[in-house]
Amino acid sequence: MLKKSNPSVPWRVAAPSCVWPDTAAANCRLLSRSVDEVGLYLLELESCLAYGPDDLPKKDYGLRYHLHLPLDLPFAHGGDTAFYAMEPLLQKTARLRPWAMVLHPPATLAALEAFLAALADAGRDPATVLLENTEDASPADVLAMAAATGCNACIDLGHMLAMGHALPTDDPELARRTRMLHVYSPFGAEGPPPGRSHVHRALGCLAPEGRDALVWMLGNLRPETVVVEVFAPAPFMESLHVLDAVATGRDAPDACPAEDS
């Protein structure tokens, strides 16, 4: 598998902490055999605030860590309120020394600025916040917000493909700000599922234009970390093989599992 020690690639390969239907602690123990880094996916604020001592890893398992902050932060009540609501999660994970925090950006720049001001007042660097493109925020939107606030970016291939968003390849902020990629296929051969923008399918499900985008991103953006954002064990392992092939210039497998995350 692609490990940081592989001299042919300059990035770490990472996994989400929810590949297996078990605790983050159990996932990290299992994932340490295959990847260099794990993103602790703290996606629901209240349930993650309730985590007990057995839910998160007690040791680092030789892994590097980052955080994916909750999707339901209370930005409607102000960016500072959103920060203070989730700050206990930073304390719960401090022993693992996460190097970055992925954030789905709020609807307004003012809310983001207030969030980052509170974060800075708590002694944390806004540059460690990686804004992720979503259904509502294109890569170009994210780069503009990052440049305005001193954040960096996490470019999500699946969101970009599902929404038909363009990758702003002529914007120098793209290479300057992109420190992480999320990679997966947003749907299989059946196309987008009704009623939602996309799912998280194995990398082998990427259409040719999706593979072309992945090759371009890996060759031109030089992120620190590439997260295989697939949430089931077999498709995740299959995706590691595809990423390995794409990154080293070999033909990637075409297999697309019939069922996926």
Q: Identify the pLDDT of residue 14.
A: 98
Mean pLDDT over the full length of the chain: 92
pLDDT band with cut points at 50, 70 and 90 for residue 243: very high
Instruction: Identify the weakest region by mean pLDDT among 12-16, 100-104, 193-197.
Output: 193-197
Residue 5: is its pLDDT beyond 80?
A: no
pLDDT band with cut points at 50, 70 and 90 for residue 25: very high
Residue 4: is its pLDDT beyond 50?
A: no
User: What is the average per-residue pLDDT within 31-49?
Assistant: 97
User: What is the average per-residue pLDDT within 196-219?
Assistant: 90
Q: Identify the pLDDT of residue 249.
A: 82
Q: Report the alpha-carbon distance of residue 73 to residue 210 in Å, rounded.
A: 31
User: What is the average per-residue pLDDT within 55-60?
Assistant: 95
pLDDT digits (tens, 9 = 90+) for 147-171: 999 999 999 999 999 999 999 999 9
pLDDT band with cut points at 50, 70 and 90 for residue 194: low
Residue 191: is its pLDDT beyond 90?
A: no
Residue 259: is its pLDDT beyond 60?
A: no
User: What is the average per-residue pLDDT within 116-131?
Assistant: 98
